[in-house]
Amino acid sequence: MMSLASYLFISFFLFVCGIIVMTARKNIIAILLGIELILNACALNFATYTRFVNQNMDGHILSLFVIIIAAAEAAVGLALVIRFFQVKESVHIDDATQLHS
Amino acid sequence: MDYNIFTIAPIVLLPFFAFVINIFLVKKFTKLGVLLSCTAMFGSFICAARIFLDFVFNKYSTGYYIHKYFTWFDIGTEAIPFKVDMGIYIDNMAATMLLMVTGVAFLIHLFSTYYMKDDARYGRFYVYLSLFTSAMLGLVLSDNLLSVFIFWELMGFCSYSLIGFYYEKEGAGNASMKAFMTTRVGDVFFLLGIIAIWTVVGNVTFVDIYKTIGNGGFDSLMVLGIPLATFAGMSIFMGTVGKSAQVPLQVWLPDAMFGPTPCSALIHAATMVAAGVYLSLRMYPLMELGGLTTMIAYIGGITAFGAATIALIQTDIKAVLAYSTISQLGYMVLGVGVGSYNAAFMHLITHAVFKACLFLSAGSIIHSLHDHHTHAHVQEMPRMGGLRKKMPYTFWAMMFCTLAISGVPFWSGFVSKDRILGDALIQATHHTSYIGPAVLGFVAAGMTAFYMFRMMFLTFFGEPRDKDLYDHTHKEGFSFNRNLPLLILSVFTFGIFFSGSLTGQGLTHIFGDRYEWFQTLIEKPKPEKFSTYERQEWGFADIKSEANFPKASYDPSYGLPEDEAHHVHYMHQIGAVMSIFIAFFGIFMAYMMYIKRAWNPAWWVNTFSRWYRALQNKYYFDDFYIGGIIQKALIPMNNALAFFDLGIYDRFAVDGWEFVNRCVYKATNWFDNTMVDNVGVDGTGASVKFFNVILRWAQTGKIQFYMLMLIAVLAGYIFTLV
């Protein structure tokens, strides 16, 4: 049986990957992918702790909620990206400067 | 007759309301305002006549009086009482005064509708006239010296306004100021006297003053080293001197003739100047207690004599009457001084009647003499003459009054003036110090007859000296507002109204037992009589039963021992004979000089040229006051005070305070500019700008940068917690 630390390590690895993708990439779709990674890290964290600490179903249910919200967020985010592409002909994050003075 | 607020108050209030309403009517509704004033005056006359008739025909008692009062204000404490009462006090003297003032004032109101009709300020004249009359009536009704003083000053104001009525005329403004300031000198003393009395009596009601005198409250009180009664009496007499134009404050009255002639008749002949004498009569017990009678007699005698001499050479018809007024007021004061109380008061009344008539006659003459070259009315007697045929009514009215003032038997002036002279003679036989006033009085009587008949002869007799002026004068027809007042007043110059005896000596009398009604009704207030007196609250209940007031009766021996009474009668007869002789001598002189032309007036002028110059300069009183007192004393004092004010007070106190303020200004200015503006206001801006520079680099607008910052902060937070 795998220990708690190994689960948390994987979760941490996913979270850091998500952060790096989200901050380093200039493609908006890539940023959305980074956000999905962070959310998955969160969901894994929930599942891990409910398995090792709580011993009940709370974490599982919250993980399901996270997945559902991630799906909804991906749908909204991609819709925004498509609309942004229609306006700017680009998916580069630095082109979103309309509110910049 | 019952007395209540509705029968007494209208005497004062009707003219006063007329004045108040007239202020608003004066510009647009002049005629209505005039009608209102005259009607109010007539109503006042009716009320006064009711009271007079009740006092003289029903009550007919020397002791009868009405005294009602209410508390005006009371601001004292237990320890320091200070309560001021106002009220009315009507005795026989006040009732007679009321009738005289309202009657004369009404006739003068009536005459003014003739005299002032074409004047540009017709309505305004009536405004002042109404105010004046109400003030005079208020003075007569007053029961205390304080309200007397208030009304006294109101009259002074009206006098001031009416003297300066023709303010566009040169000198009128100065004359009004002179009158006001000269009487003010006396008023200051009057106020001092009121204060002095207040300290002793606790209030200034006539009755309480009499009571205090009767109780000996004034005895052995001293102020400034002289007895308090003397001080107070002298101060109040100075008020009389100012108002009644006695020496040495007589200088204002001749100049007061700048006013319209009806106002001269009302204010400067009949009522206001007589108010001073009225005050002296009211305060007679105090002056007697203070031992001032000799001095008063001297002032009266000198005034009567001096003014009569100046009147001898005047050519202006109003100036003659003005000096004659001063002279007659001198007689009244002489009467006060020699203790002939009721004769002085009788002379006040008779003089008011005939002098008002004389002034109105003069006004009638002046108004009809119109110079077509200068468009001015003529007052100079050398340009008149022969006016008897043009103005018969005015002539007869003036003739009666001239006979009265000259002291011709059967006229009122003889009755009253002769009693004063007779009493002066009696006093002179008792005390040698009274010889001077008596002699001055008799000599002035002769001169009075002379200058009055000189005026008559120059005005009405002989040939017209200014033919052009004479021809342009219209013949006088009878008119109710021009001649009726003159004739009514001239009727009352007959002595029979004042004394039922034909000679005025109580010898041959034609009425019943009241033939000397005036003599018996007006008597000296006897202070001891007031010791049991209780003051009556406002409410007009019947004050005492009539049984307490015995009917007055004439006692031919004046209650004196037989030999003394004989002496009094003897001296009165000598005085009467002397004054008749002197009066006819004066008339004879005037006749010889101005009708017969037997004695040339120029001879007198040349022979006594120094005296003539002195008379022309009015005994140099004006020169002395202006050149001496004002130039030498008051203007240097003014300069010294101005130096103190400008050189010391302004320079050091005012400018010093300015210096202090400037220093404070500099300090606060520095604080404001440096500390508040630079440090506080600009410092806030500078700090905002500083933080702006620091924080600006973080506002990149790049969302990933914000994300990094967020993570860095969260990481820092977590590390700090751990």
Q: Residues B72-92: what's their mean pLDDT? A: 86
- The percent of residues in chain B predicted with pLDDT above 90, rounded, is 56
Residue B547 pLDDT > 60: no
Give the tens place of pLDDT for each residue, B137-191.
999 999 999 999 999 999 999 999 999 999 988 889 999 999 999 999 999 999 9
Which residues of chain B lie closer than 8 angstroms to A34, CB-CB? Answer: none
Task: Match 């941490």 to its residue by tokens.
Answer: A12
Closest CA relative to residue A15, chosen from B720, B719, B714, B700: B714
Report the DSSP pairing between strands B536-537 and B66-74: parallel
State residue B535's pLDDT score. 65
Whether ipTM tops 0.85, in short, is no
Residue in B closest to A100 by C-alpha: B701
B596-622 tens-digit pLDDT:
888 888 888 888 888 889 888 888 898
The whole-number pLDDT of residue B525 equals 83
Cβ-defined contact of B702 to A94 (cutoff 8 Å):
yes
pLDDT (mean) for A63-82: 93
* Of B143, B47, B146, residue with least CA distance to B90: B143
- Reading the block at residue B157, the tokens are 């104001």
Q: Which of B699, B700, B702, B704 would you mutate first to test chain A, the one with the most A CBs within 10 A?
A: B704
Give every CB contact of residue B689 below 8 A, 6+ residues apart in sequence. Answer: none
Mark yes or no for CB contact A19/B711 under 8 Å. yes
What span, in angstroms and rounded, lies between the C-alpha atoms of B447 and B336?
21
Q: Residues 688 to 707 of B: which have CB under 8 A from any A CB?
A: 701-704, 707
Q: pTM for the complete prediction?
A: 0.80
CA B130 vs. chain centroid, Å, equals 15
Q: For residue B543, what pLDDT is reported? A: 53
What is the arithmetic mean of pLDDT over B650-664? Answer: 93
Residue B194: Cβ within 10 Å count = 19
Is residue B313's pLDDT more than 80? yes
Encoded tokens for B38: 């005259």
User: Residues B421-470: pLDDT tens digits?
Assistant: 999 999 999 999 999 999 999 999 999 999 999 999 999 998 888 888 88
Please give the pLDDT value at position B604: 86
CB atoms within 10 A of CB A15: 19
SS3 B541: coil
CB B420 within 8 A of CB B344: yes
Window 478-517 of B: residues touching A by CB (8 A cutoff) are none
Measured CA to CA, the distance from residue B554 to residue B521 in angstroms comes to: 9
User: Which pLDDT value is given to residue B638?
Assistant: 93
d(CA B378, CA B367): 8
B325 band by pLDDT with thresholds 50, 70 and 90: very high
- Order of all β-strands in the sheet with B536-537: B83-90, B66-74, B536-537
User: Model confidence over B194-229: pLDDT tens digits?
Assistant: 999 999 988 899 988 998 998 888 888 888 888 999
Percentage with pLDDT > 70 across chain A: 97
> Hey, of B700, B707, B718, which one would you mutate to test binding to chain A, going by the most A CBs within 10 A of its CB?
B707
Burial B352-382 (b: 16+ CB within 10 A, else e): bbbbbbbbbbbbbbbbbbeeeeeeeebbbbe
Whole-number Å distance between alpha carbons of A91 and A80: 10
Tokens of B127: 């405004």
Token pair 């120094």 in the structure block, residue? B610
For residue B573, pLDDT over 90 is answered with no
For residue B113, what is the enclosing H or E element?
helix B92-115
Note the pLDDT of residue B545: 53
Q: What is the DSSP letter of A27?
A: B
**Would you say residue B637 has pLDDT above 70?**
yes
How far is A33 from chain B, CA to nearest CA, in Å?
14
pLDDT-derived band at B52 (thresholds 50, 70, 90) equals very high
Task: Give the pLDDT confidence score for residue B541 in this predicted structure.
Answer: 46
Mean pLDDT of chain B: 89
Measured from the Cβ of residue A47, the count of other Cβ atoms closer than 10 Å reads 18
Q: Which of A19, A93, A101 sits opposite B703 (nearest CB)?
A: A93
